[in-house]
Chain A
């Protein structure tokens, strides 16, 4: 394999992995707080359409990304209000949010069908990305660097800050956290909004970087892969990074193998498509067989918090 091709493959993997990583990072924080939001796909679509709309109308991609984050966070807050303030069932509310986001994005995007915007591309001067190895480091959209920064930031927040400790406590044992005097609902609101904003940026990556256009159902189910990834990574930010790039590598290499021909392309494409989900189930099984506390699901995941006092 020539160095150029190797670099190209790495760059492609980064492109495929970034949106999944972003959405999954958001959902990781949400789940660490004990909330399961199945609305990732819907929030990504909301972010994708609003990000595109804003970038197309203002010409400013940064505003686009910001709008995507805000729009999806607002969507997440619908979920938050129902599940946190009104203790509604999280599974049902999350699915409703996905249905809503899909419908909303289709309606809101009607005016933007068939339009294009410039790719929200490389942020560094092109000279830096000219050498193949320069390209590996300097050839990406700002959103890519943001996603990597957020991996560190989320890890630092969860493990090194007091706020992160509280958030994990809320996810592990909401009753105790409540009795010590922390606002369980308040913390979860913050987490849910953060998760929405991240899903929104992930959606914007599709409509502004990957394929700078809007089309209905643009994200085509990637939100569910992000949900799988959180579990696959056993709720740890660094494993999430590795997992996202692993998933991305499988998806990218599959295409390259088909283009190159050869043994890899003998495996049915459906097997590759099912792999993230099956791998996630295996990871879940492995986690529970080992039973080391820090890698298992947050204890309160998906359960409504009903303060008795």
Chain B
């Protein structure tokens, strides 16, 4: 018996949803084997990383606040990638959003009022959109590859952040540590319930994902994005503007990354520090893919990634697994998912060895 790949007439919906589940499961199996071979407690590592965060209710809040920014950014990227616009500048747009919101916070340091936090959030979204608008402008006006420009802009804005924190934005009372003052109560994201660490970013992430799902599946905009992304020629006949879609894709994904940035700055951080960007913008690319470029899928994928982070830390404290293991698990998961995607478009077909003499 031999196998060969045969192209499917229609992409398999079953495989589309089975692939990520299979990827996660296979990651656990392969991860256990690899880490056992390396002399660690491989099975223990998988149990600690993938199940402890779920079975221990104390960790649910951690999962929520870790997943929230990943989900928000991942939803935006999913929309952009659906439109075939490859924004890999979410990291920079996240920082831009946080910086724009922080600028409002620094201007309103002495003030109070319920309008301050919303103003910061609006500024954050605009900041992210602005940073996303640069690749959009270059792409639509000059046909400059957005992958390259959005990637380069990440590193540029991180340097700008470093400069501002070292110079003009430095906390005057902070003994020259390069960081902003702590935000005031009016500038901070409140907790959902007193005594928890769950902040408003978590429900906002869910609302963003649901709204995006609704827009993508039920609105003309969503239809347009998908058509432009998957069948640009048909889109042109249909009167959909490719340029407008590029603008929308980058503004939406940039704006959402900016939203995540200011929520993170006004929530868990309550200030900007040089290490503010921790790679959420890149991890969210995994989230978008693992979530099948579907906003609801991004919720699940964001949670899975959050589990690997939180679980990775648990595994360090309980069985002494090195921190680098988390990255290996995440990379493995993405590799397997991307590999498994082949079955969406192809099926594995068993072919009996051809009897001799039969015509081909």
Q: Are chains A and B touching in the complex at the 8 Å CB cutoff?
A: yes
Q: What is A's interface to B at a CB cutoff of 8 Å? A: 36, 38, 78, 81-82, 86-89, 91-93, 95-97, 99-100, 102-104, 106-107, 110, 216, 221, 224, 227-228, 231, 268, 270-271, 273-274, 277-278, 280-281, 284-285, 288-289, 297, 301-302
Closest to A306 in B: B345
Question: Is the CB–CB distance between B147 and A91 below 8 Å?
Answer: yes
Closest to B288 in A: A92
Question: Is the CB–CB distance between B334 and A92 below 8 Å?
Answer: yes
Distance A5 CA – B213 CA, assembled complex (angstroms): 62
Q: What is B's interface to A at a CB cutoff of 8 Å? A: 38, 86, 88, 138, 142-145, 147-149, 151-153, 155-156, 159-160, 162-163, 166-167, 282, 285-286, 289, 322-328, 330-332, 334-335, 338-339, 341-342, 345
Question: Is the CB–CB distance between A103 and B324 below 8 Å?
Answer: yes
Question: Is the CB–CB distance between B342 and A86 below 8 Å?
Answer: yes
Question: Is the CB–CB distance between B152 and A281 below 8 Å?
Answer: yes
Closest to B329 in A: A103
Question: Is the CB–CB distance between B326 and A285 below 8 Å?
Answer: no
Q: Measured between C-beta atoms, what is the minimum distance from A43 to chain B in Å?
A: 13
Having A88-B338, A107-B325, one finds 8 other A-B pairs with CB under 8 Å, namely: A86-B341, A91-B285, A96-B331, A96-B338, A103-B324, A273-B155, A281-B153, A288-B138
Q: Could you say which of A96, A224, A270 contacts B335, with CB atoms under 8 Å apart?
A: A96
- Can you name 29 A-B residue pairings with CB atoms under 8 Å? A86-B341, A86-B342, A87-B342, A88-B342, A92-B289, A92-B334, A93-B338, A95-B334, A96-B330, A96-B335, A99-B334, A100-B327, A102-B324, A102-B327, A103-B325, A103-B328, A107-B324, A216-B324, A224-B151, A227-B151, A228-B152, A228-B155, A270-B160, A271-B163, A274-B160, A277-B152, A289-B142, A297-B145, A297-B148
Question: Is the CB–CB distance between A285 and B285 below 8 Å?
Answer: no
Across the A-B interface, how many residue pairs have beta carbons closer than 8 Å? Answer: 132
Q: Measured between C-beta atoms, what is the minimum distance from B74 to chain A in Å?
A: 12
Question: Is the CB–CB distance between B155 and A224 below 8 Å?
Answer: yes
Distance A285 CA – B152 CA, assembled complex (angstroms): 13
Interface centre among A36, A87, A96, A280 (most CB of B within 10 A): A96
Q: Measured between C-beta atoms, what is the minimum distance from B27 to chain A in Å?
A: 12
Question: Is the CB–CB distance between B153 and A231 below 8 Å?
Answer: no
Question: Is the CB–CB distance between A281 and B149 below 8 Å?
Answer: yes
Distance A298 CA – B162 CA, assembled complex (angstroms): 34
Interface centre among A89, A104, A273, A274 (most CB of B within 10 A): A274
Measured between beta carbons, the chain A residues less than 8 angstroms from B143 are 288
